[in-house]
Amino acid sequence: MAFTLGGRARRLVSATSIHQNGCLHKLQQIGSDRFQLGEAKAIRLLPRRTNMVQELGIREEFMDPNRETETSYDFLDEMRHRFLKFKRQKYLPEIEKFQALAIAQSPKVMVIGCADSRVCPSYVLGFQPGEAFTIRNVANLVTPVQNGPTETNSALEFAVTTLQVENIIVMGHSNCGGIAALMSHQNHQGQHSSLVERWVMNGKAAKLRTQLASSHLSFDEQCRNCEKVTNSKHLFILRSLIPEADLCVCVCVFFFLCWGRNL
């Protein structure tokens, strides 16, 4: 993983309390069972399948007993077990920490990452709850303000002006499908483009720069170069979006093929 640093850190200012009760204080009632996150004992998160059928008023003859239904239920059961494992092993041993987080957050870091399921910033960088304010989108793009408001830019504004984070990390990665979609997009497609194609075209400047510099390379090699160019351009875009902020800005690229190698 390579890092490019810019800017400098400043003193962290305590964040404004977001909500007195916090989210996750109580989960929505599901069927006849409910789960109170602050309770010391584990209560079933999901109702039994028979209860679900009765409470939703579904007649047995309309239940499709195929493998897909069983698989779906297995998935929900797996999620239930994972949640209860989290509660037993992490939440309850650190209950005071989670109760404090329910009142307010004060992260020092904002992470702008890709939505790719293989690159979870908290998992890769070891962030704990409350440490990093994270926004993820396809190809981890940061768009210029002239392109209009986006979820990423609004999250950036909130992180800088309200949470007053000290550091911003833009985390790209190799083999990015979003960058491949950008590089393969035909400019004449216009209104017939998919939502993904229209989104990744926010990185058009990086695409053109890559094509000019590496037109002699294969498509895969051009995509690898575009991943680097896109992330380097984020430094300049971030400075234009938050010109007065005194922040440490870090751009990094996660390379899958480097796994297992010495750092």
Is 114 annotated for ligand binding? Answer: yes
Q: How many CA atoms lie within 13 A of 55 on its CB side?
A: 12
Nearest by Cα to 200 from 222, 213, 183: 183
Is 173 annotated for ligand binding? Answer: yes
Neighbours of 11 (CB within 10 A): 7
| Structure tokens that stand for 21 in this block | 């009760």
Is 116 annotated for ligand binding? Answer: yes
Q: What is the per-residue DSSP string for 97-133? A: HHHHHHH----SEEEEEE--TT--HHHHHTPPTTSEE
The set of residues, in sequence order, having a beta carbon less than 8 Å from that of 239 and lying 6+ positions away, is 249
H or E element, residue 2: strand 2-7
Is 223 annotated for ligand binding? Answer: no
Q: What is the Cα–Cα distance from 126 to 133, expressed in whole angstroms? A: 13
Annotated binding-site members for Zn(2+): 114, 116, 173, 176
For the annotated binding site, the residues are 114, 116, 173, 176
